Amino acid sequence: MWAKYLSFNDELYKYMVAQRSDAHDPVMEALHAETQTLGEISQMAIGPDQASFMTFLVATLGVKSAVEVGTFTGTSSISIARGIPAGGKLICFDQDFKWTSIARRYWMKAGVEKKIELRLGNARDLLIHFRPPKPLDFVFIDADKTSYDLYYEALLPHVRPGGVILFDNMLMGGKVIDPTEKHSPANHAIDQLNRKLATDPRIHAVLIPVADGLYLCRKNG
């Protein structure tokens, strides 16, 4: 197979992250700093390159109606909401009051709180009964990995033709192909979903090496 890719080190990654619009964002920098104080769990937050990519993508798609599954401290929700015009809506599903309390504070700092609605609870239960007020333009899934497929099947019927579903962590740090790691429940679930998405006739899909692997899926008409 013809292959063309680049291996990153810390210096090259920092250079890349610096070469983007609004690279020095005081709100995101403060949120990142506060999230880092949480310890190892801070790794759940998306990185700055992914945040900028998501804002760019949402704005380019003209998204007005969006859903996020897995909000944590708010980096991804701010990134999505910034790309949505006034009058648009992002509905966030998350079950952790503590982490989303941080997100709420930073939504206000970023001036996007009017665009966001938070629904607290187990998304596995909430999405069964979810009926969005209008067809969804964009969905971002970044929660418990073993439930990704359930979230996908629950939300895909509500996505408009041409709408996009974006999954995070679809390479699982390389563990999806590591012989000693790939059979764990989370890694196995992601591997199975990767293979499913690649052959699902309902969507057009591409897995890209941004962050820990982003799977972009556009719903067919």
Calpha distance 186→201 (Å, rounded): 24
Strands 214-219 and 159-167, by their bridges, are: antiparallel
Residue 6, pLDDT score: 87
For residue 217, the SS3 value is strand
Residue 4, pLDDT score: 86
Calpha distance 1→182 (Å, rounded): 23
Prediction pTM value:
0.96
CA–CA–CA angle 57, 58, 64 (5° rounding): 160
* Domains of the chain, each with CATH number or no CATH: 10-40+47-219 (3.40.50.150)
- Which whole number is the average pLDDT over 23-37? 96
Each residue of 119-158: pLDDT tens digit?
Answer: 999 999 999 999 999 999 999 999 999 999 999 999 999 9
Q: Nearest to residue 165, comparing CAs of 183, 181, 145, 148?
A: 148
